[in-house]
Amino acid sequence: MAFPALLLICVFLIALLPYIPATYEWLRPTDVAPLPVRRNEINNLRYFADSFRQRITAIPEINLSGLRNLQTDRTVSSNDNLNIVHQRLGADASASYYPETLKMLQKKNVIVIFVHDARLPPGSHNQADLFAASDLSVGAGASLRACSAQGVITLGANTVVHRWIDAPCIHVGSNASIDGRITALKEINFADGSQFVRAGAPSMRFGACDAASAAAEALPEMSPSWATRTRQILDDGAEASSDIYQNGDFVVRGAYRVLAGTTLFGSIKTYGDLYLGQHSRIVGSIVSNKDIVLAKGCSVLGPVISQNDIVIGADCRIGAPGAATTVICRKLTIAAGCVVHGVITTQDGATVTTVTTAEIPDAA
């Protein structure tokens, strides 16, 4: 009987062994600190682009000013993962890079540096990480993995960017798709039909934006007297005030409609759909648990946040020059003629479309 008992004890001890360190950690925790995540990795939309540029400048043999002065049109390979293109294409639209250069652009895990103005052929599939020391033009139907430029980037129609793209100024062609993030130091211009997931720039323009620019100049700023505004709580089904100028913050337990031409010095939060009538102006933020709809010519100075979808009609303006803000939603539909200053973050993507006032649904 001794051997079965000994075997049973051994089995019990082996089964109990994994629980000993777990029990000790539960009784006396040794690792309760938060994960060491740097804040700029979360909040800086241009983090990938900045890291890529720092990696380029840290390479000893990369001296852009010296590389531009070299009288050569060769493609130099410093190693298997770094290639420098010296070839100038000039103004000839039919000119193209050497076959070995085009083949190199299709390789993965490769960095390609364009010393001069660069132009990618239409329909090409480029899988290398690109860095343009000057301007970059991408032909229609081409695809990119990731790209950074020190000049202007022009994306042709139906182009695709799989990860990210960054430059001081970017022009996005019609029906182009940015699957990752698009950022610019100054301005991004989106054409009709273009799509993106995250975008950020001091000024993002969607189609012709003359009317939206005029609306931005007409939007007043907060004054010290509005800082002491009161908060009003409204029940579901409450009717909006007919006053043209209103002061205060509104919390609505349901859907809410802001009448056309209203100027509100405050913010709105609704538990239902939120609808802004034509040419209404909100000198504050708008937040909704459901959909947000902005009719034609609306202006919002602060953040626009929805837990569902947002539809922005033509000639609207979000934010102001020098006062960047944010737009957050599940899916965004934004009409040509709008201007957004700041960052747009979506879950299911944003689409630039020719939405008219008559096509905007009545959210309230």
Whole-number Å distance between alpha carbons of 92 and 108: 29
pLDDT value of position 227:
52
Kindly report the average pLDDT of the chain as a whole number.
84
Whole-number Å distance between alpha carbons of 141 and 87: 23
Tens-digit pLDDT profile for residues 203-234 = 999 987 665 554 544 555 554 445 556 788 88
Residue 359 has pLDDT above 80, yes or no: no
Burial (Cβ within 10 Å: 0-12, 13-18, ≥19) of residue 121: middle
**Which is higher by pLDDT, 329 or 39?**
329
Instruction: Tabulate helix, strand, coil % of the chain (nearest 5).
Output: 20, 40, 40
Contacts of 328 (CB under 8 A, 6+ apart): 303, 304, 305, 306, 345, 346
The secondary element (H helix, E strand) that includes residue 218 is helix 210-218
Average pLDDT over residues 167-196: 95
Average pLDDT over residues 93-113: 85
Tens-digit pLDDT profile for residues 5-19 = 888 888 888 888 888
Closest CA to 303 of 320, 326, 282, 323: 326
Residue 212 contacts residue 315 (beta carbons within 8 Å): yes
- For the chain, what are the domain ranges? 55-206, 210-359
Residue 347 contacts residue 329 (beta carbons within 8 Å): yes
Average pLDDT over residues 59-76: 68
Q: Provide the CB-side half-sphere exposure for 281 (13 A, CA).
A: 20
pLDDT band at 161 (very low <50, low <70, confident <90, very high): very high
Tens-digit pLDDT profile for residues 90-101 = 777 777 888 888
Closest CA to 312 of 271, 347, 284, 274: 274
pLDDT value of position 69:
63
Average pLDDT over residues 239-246: 82
CA angle 144, 148, 150 (to 5 degrees): 140
Query: Using the 8-state DSSP alphabet, how is residue 345 labeled?
Result: E
Whole-number Å distance between alpha carbons of 266 and 304: 13
pLDDT value of position 102:
87
Q: Is the pTM of this model over 0.85?
A: no
Query: Using the 8-state DSSP alphabet, how is residue 74 labeled?
Result: -
pLDDT band at 364 (very low <50, low <70, confident <90, very high): very low
Average pLDDT over residues 180-194: 94
3-state class (DSSP) for residue 302:
coil
Whole-number Å distance between alpha carbons of 268 and 287: 6
